[in-house]
Structure 1
């Protein structure tokens, strides 16, 4: 099969786009369908590099069609795929996944329910939003649509592009609350000589600050491997990033606190620019009468919750599934992630 790629690494989106148009689309013929590169995979979020090609990587396309047409179309495509395309095998796997080709044929409802736990073309409830992990939401709304012959991919992705504003305020509030719960602890741990504990809490705060920045900029934070890369791509993130790097490299708890305070004040200024609440004082302050400087993150959480008003279905201050669990077994399984949020936000 002909392709226009020169020798060297080809990003997965580019490879898969050409694979669809040159190979898969002709095989699909007149069968009405949509085609996209969404779902799992570093190439979906455009984080793939040559290293990614060592397992489970190659030309991939998801074909969405009528359920009755899916099996015959899948068989036709599988029977006529070339062995290689663009210099890469069309069948690939890993030590965990058997060899398979990269064309999946399904219907959008089945894919969405397996990936997210619900079909976004219907009414999206608060439980749906909070029970879908940020990584899964990013995977569904990122990537690329190559063809939308059924006219269903664009509206489904648009529906999940970002939270409704009241729910956005609620999720931001819960993220501020996470910071408020521990913001005094780098100093408190350091004061009693627990330098390692101080470093661990600093690292947790840095992660929560990075995620909050992404959420403020309407970006779903990806999972751990790509969090720093996604944060670095944010416009205007350099100063906060430098402050967090300084905090993580601080030799004493006072060094860490000083750098964290720089990050906090930049974060507070960003909050005020969003105008989701009345402006709040962006200056750090003492933690009660103790000798630790904090931003007073609960101020921001309380203001956001007040501005959001009652959010139907949000029964707990815990937030979305990512804000209560970092377990891979939860965040990568729609049934488990929804079960966690149902426990936190029980229906009345």
Structure 2
């Protein structure tokens, strides 16, 4: 988590600095004009710097993956603007961001000046001993560690830890970030056992604070870090488990577009290399390199180091070619394996046991099978049964076939449990082929897939003759061999994602359908063709997203802010109940839309809507994270509010208290939505009746297509 300065809760830091620094006009910090965006005209007076606008602009650069070319100049200009405005709090925020960026670019010498300047500025502002001081020390220490000035880094980390323990809650993730950072320092200075202890403490803190550790990017990062340290200690079995667990979390949480995903991929590649599973190492290094290039560019130490490791793995895999027909690990570390710290030095996030899910003794009454989630079962079935079959029977296509589990079924969302096994649960996976490859081998490969062992780890494949249901066969089948286009068409009606200039087609696709087409996990995709098609469905055009945001605002206003109150006053509990349903549905959808489906995925259908919403709300930096809990409160109170009556007798309160509480929650959610719309620049209005926010949002829709605009 906190290894990147961007992960040190930028907005929180900015607020701490603004609160801590008494100088300047406090009203300037909240000014909504564009003064903060590069004020360079000397004739403008007085100069102003808008910290929130600066952070929003920097976020936009990183989200567009333009950091390599644009972030540096943007940060330099921001330093000048903040200094010209005399805004020390804003300047310190810029310096903290710059340290993280320079570190990611390997610009260590330049960073020394930034570190010195940040510490001097924070001391001059009187921040010593505050939360902002601890955050600044962490960033400075991490920059010094990256530059290999270890003594200075250790001193700064220890100062930060002492400060943090006085200011932070014991479950505060910034404490985990500190322990992660200290572990890296100990690892890089050959104090490996101390590094392991720090990481285990970091993992403990993060898991204790997480709503859902199985879909939490910070938990995943800690598993990756721990895997690399265990690798240094020669504990290969534990290293492989933790590295694989990290990727499992990224898949479960649909977090593959996090920049830290590259570190997890490189971490597992490092472990597989040490196990002499070179082909696997090549696959994971390649995937990592693609993410690094997208997020950071090629001209970075991070890219160069990972590319060097990939070259080594490819050389080893070439020598091993033809001999590796199974994925058997070797229990000793390869003598010339790249050092773990090399693989992920700039990507590692600061933020020996068996897998309990695989070995748990929990059994269902129906199957008496061991507890294991469907995605994990599918991956194991692919790795142990499917992949060897393809290598043996289709060696010329092994580098062209994509495999994974995506689509309908609770296991594809990672939400399956012991109650999900009464229909179509079992070992299965999908194989996705290009049209050309399907024409050549599709039918034969499907026959070979159907001939695979039906029983695996105590489960029976749903497509087997004695376990088939209608939805597991023919056009309704959910696994087996597919043309890529046919697979997506069977779910969405479209063989490929609609074009950006076809908004009417996007508007015909509901979110649940898009969720089913983009969920799950891809186990292998050598060509990248399936992943590219899948990603296109996640990349909803902005115009469409804005239109849907507007629609959700309208329904929240209509059902929650208007009709709910009127229905309750009329005593029409049934109408009020339906209003609550529409309000909750619109709010939960809006949270996913505001957080952007490209990053967090889509809201699934009603059965799993709240499971997905809880998972999303537990992630660090989720926008509108508290809406989920408040919606759950609304639903818990809805029975009393709608059917509690007028109340009678001494102390009888009837429906009134529940109804008042619901109305209060509705308005609190509306206020938070408006605040978020303003933060994103989608509105300039403070109006909390959300119907009146729709025109402001729709001003950002570039297309004239009528389907995107309200009447």
Same fold (TM over 0.5): yes
- Alignment root-mean-square deviation, CA: 2.9
Deviations 1:119-142 (A, max 9, x none): 337845323322222122112222
3-state SS in 1 of match to 2:421: helix
3-state SS in 1 of match to 2:616: coil
CA change 1:190–1:103 in 2 (3 A) is closer
**Which structure has the highest strand share of the two?**
1
Is the Cα contact below 8 Å between 1:126 and 1:314 reproduced in 2?
yes
Is the Cα contact below 8 Å between 2:445 and 2:481 reproduced in 1?
yes
CA change 1:304–1:316 in 2 (3 A) is closer
| Distance in 2 separating the partners of 1:169 and 1:162 | 13
> Could you say which residue in structure 2 is the equivalent of 1:51?
419
> Could you say which residue in structure 2 is the equivalent of 1:39?
407
**Residue 207 in 1 paired to residue 585 in 2?**
yes
1:314 Cα offset (Å): 2.9
3-state SS in 2 of match to 1:43: helix
1:97 Cα offset (Å): 4.4
> Could you say which residue in structure 2 is the equivalent of 1:240?
627
> Could you say which residue in structure 2 is the equivalent of 1:142?
519
> Could you say which residue in structure 2 is the equivalent of 1:60?
428
**Residue 116 in 1 paired to residue 483 in 2?**
no
1:238 Cα offset (Å): 5.5
| Distance in 2 separating the partners of 1:122 and 1:259 | 38
CA change 1:46–1:313 in 2 (3 A) is farther
Is the Cα contact below 8 Å between 1:167 and 1:311 reproduced in 2?
no
Unaligned runs of 5+ in 2: 1-326, 329-354, 362-369, 642-654
| Distance in 2 separating the partners of 1:151 and 1:244 | 39
Q: How many residues align?
A: 304
> Could you say which residue in structure 1 is the equivalent of 2:539?
162
> Could you say which residue in structure 2 is the equivalent of 1:305?
698
CA change 1:234–1:83 in 2 (3 A) is closer
Match of 2:610 among 208, 228, 235: 228
| Distance in 2 separating the partners of 1:259 and 1:278 | 22
3-state SS in 2 of match to 1:207: helix
1:203 Cα offset (Å): 2.8
| Distance in 2 separating the partners of 1:106 and 1:260 | 45
1:303 Cα offset (Å): 0.8
| Distance in 2 separating the partners of 1:170 and 1:185 | 22
Deviations 1:249-290 (A, max 9, x none): 043333321221122222222222333x133316xxxxxxxx
Match of 2:454 among 60, 83, 92: 83
3-state SS in 1 of match to 2:710: coil
Deviations 1:148-207 (A, max 9, x none): 133301211221223122221111111112223333111111222223422331232122
User: TM-score with structure 1 length normalisation?
Assistant: 0.78
| Distance in 2 separating the partners of 1:246 and 1:98 | 38
| Distance in 1 separating the partners of 2:545 and 2:498 | 20
Is the Cα contact below 8 Å between 1:176 and 1:297 reproduced in 2?
yes
| Distance in 2 separating the partners of 1:216 and 1:48 | 26
Unaligned runs of 5+ in 1: 283-294, 319-348
CA change 1:180–1:106 in 2 (3 A) is same
Q: Which has the larger radius of gyration?
A: 2
| Distance in 2 separating the partners of 1:264 and 1:94 | 48
| Distance in 1 separating the partners of 2:431 and 2:410 | 19
Is the Cα contact below 8 Å between 1:186 and 1:256 reproduced in 2?
no
CA change 1:115–1:199 in 2 (3 A) is closer
CA change 1:160–1:132 in 2 (3 A) is same
| Distance in 1 separating the partners of 2:408 and 2:468 | 15
Moved more, 68-77 or 120-129: 120-129
Is the Cα contact below 8 Å between 2:404 and 2:522 reproduced in 1?
yes
In the TM superposition, 1:1-348 aligns within 5 A as: 5-6=358-359, 7=361, 8-29=370-391, 30=395, 31=397, 32-65=400-433, 66-68=437-439, 69-79=441-451, 81-91=452-462, 93=467, 97=471, 103-120=479-496, 123=499, 125-182=502-559, 183-218=561-596, 219-235=601-617, 239-248=626-635, 249=637, 250=641, 251-252=655-656, 253-275=659-681, 277-281=682-686, 295-312=688-705, 314=707, 317=710
Is the Cα contact below 8 Å between 1:138 and 1:220 reproduced in 2?
yes
Is the Cα contact below 8 Å between 1:135 and 1:221 reproduced in 2?
yes
Deviations 1:71-106 (A, max 9, x none): 011112222x11311221123557654689974111
User: TM-score with structure 2 length normalisation?
Assistant: 0.40
**Which structure has the highest helix share of the two?**
2
Is the Cα contact below 8 Å between 1:187 and 1:254 reproduced in 2?
no
CA change 1:33–1:208 in 2 (3 A) is same
3-state SS in 1 of match to 2:427: coil
CA change 1:256–1:25 in 2 (3 A) is same
CA change 1:214–1:193 in 2 (3 A) is same
Is the Cα contact below 8 Å between 1:116 and 1:132 reproduced in 2?
yes
3-state SS in 2 of match to 1:44: helix
3-state SS in 2 of match to 1:145: strand
3-state SS in 2 of match to 1:35: strand
| Distance in 2 separating the partners of 1:272 and 1:163 | 22
Is the Cα contact below 8 Å between 2:407 and 2:478 reproduced in 1?
no
Report which structure shows greater RCO (CA 8 Å, sep ≥6): 1
